[in-house]
Amino acid sequence: MTAELCPVCMHPLNDTYCSFCGAPLFPGDKFCPECGSSVVGVTCPTCGTLCFRNFCSHCMQPVTEAGRAELARAQADPAYQKMQRLAKELAEMEELLLSEEGAKVQEGNAPQTEALSEEDLALINKYKDMISVFSQQEVNPQTEVNLQAEAEPKPKIFSRKQIMEEYKAKVQEINDILASFKPDDDATPQMQRDYYSARKVCFTTKTVEIVKTGWICNYCGCLHSIPSECAEPWHGGKWICEPVETVTEEWRYEE
């Protein structure tokens, strides 16, 4: 077996070298003599997961100085910065494409309705809310425009089809940037892992589901988890429902 960590408990399978940096370990070592990481793991300050690598296996946040240093190098990379800007632009376009207002595009005074295909909707949902990962970088404020001076001619209004084409082009740019990431040829396996971990992109999908949270009976007005908990459920009652938001995250990178 060549795996460094157990796929179930994520603990090291080999105690002869450090899972954080790959340096040799000797019997009785409590800390790596090279990177100083604890042999019993490091607790992620963000989610509390016990980690044996420089990036948390659950939330992908750096948990060691080496991980934070690699993340800083990634954020200083112009290609990574460009991907941040593209992600913010995608989020703005998603809001327009998926909004009710965006379903009707006005050309002058004539409304025009364009329905998105299932393929286009699937693409948008796939990349939805990427901006949450790139919140560190602020969007440059737009320059104020003199409305009277710009009254004529009217600004060009793009159709949903044009917006969708631009959206797909930006998605392809992001994928090309991910594919271009490559660590140094002499990087160790641990350094290569940190390189890609720092440049992963999180694709977040949010879904809202209406769930039953309890049942109020007509007999005594009490809240029950199910009708049968009431002493006399035959008097009837009503279910109490609430919207529950579920967030699913998928981490991706190119090697």
* Of 99 and 217, the one with more pLDDT: 217
Domain encompassing residue 175: 78-137+148-180
**Rounded average pLDDT over 105-121:** 55
Domain assignment of residue 33, yes or no: yes
What pLDDT is recorded for position 117?
75
pLDDT at 165: 87
Domain assignment present for residue 70? The answer is: yes
> 129 with 98, same domain?
yes
Let me know if residue 84 belongs to a domain. Answer: yes
Return the higher-pLDDT residue of 51 and 135. 51
What pLDDT does 148 receive? 43
Any domain includes 46: yes
pLDDT band with cut points at 50, 70 and 90 for residue 138: very low
Average pLDDT, integer, range 66-79: 93
Q: Which of 32, 48, 75 is the last residue in one of the domains?
A: 75
Q: 169 and 89, same structural domain? A: yes
Same domain, 67 and 14: yes
Domain identity same for 175 and 88: yes
In a domain, 142, yes or no: no
Pairing of strands 237-252, 201-217: antiparallel
Mean pLDDT of 13-26: 92
Look at residue 142 in the predicted model and tell me its pLDDT. Answer: 37
Lookup: tokens for 126: 């796939």
Report if residue 198 sits inside a domain.
no
128 and 156 housed in the same domain: yes
* Cα 66 from chain centroid (whole Å): 22
Question: For the chain, how are helix, strand and coil distributed in percent, rounded to 5?
Answer: 35, 20, 45
Structurally, the chain folds into a number of domains equal to 3
Q: What is the number of alpha carbons within 13 Å of residue 236 lying toward its C-beta?
A: 0
The arithmetic mean of pLDDT across residues 162-189, rounded, is: 88
- Tell me which residue of 178, 205, 208 sits closest to 124, measured CA to CA: 205
Give the distance between the most distant pair of CA atoms in the chain. Answer: 79
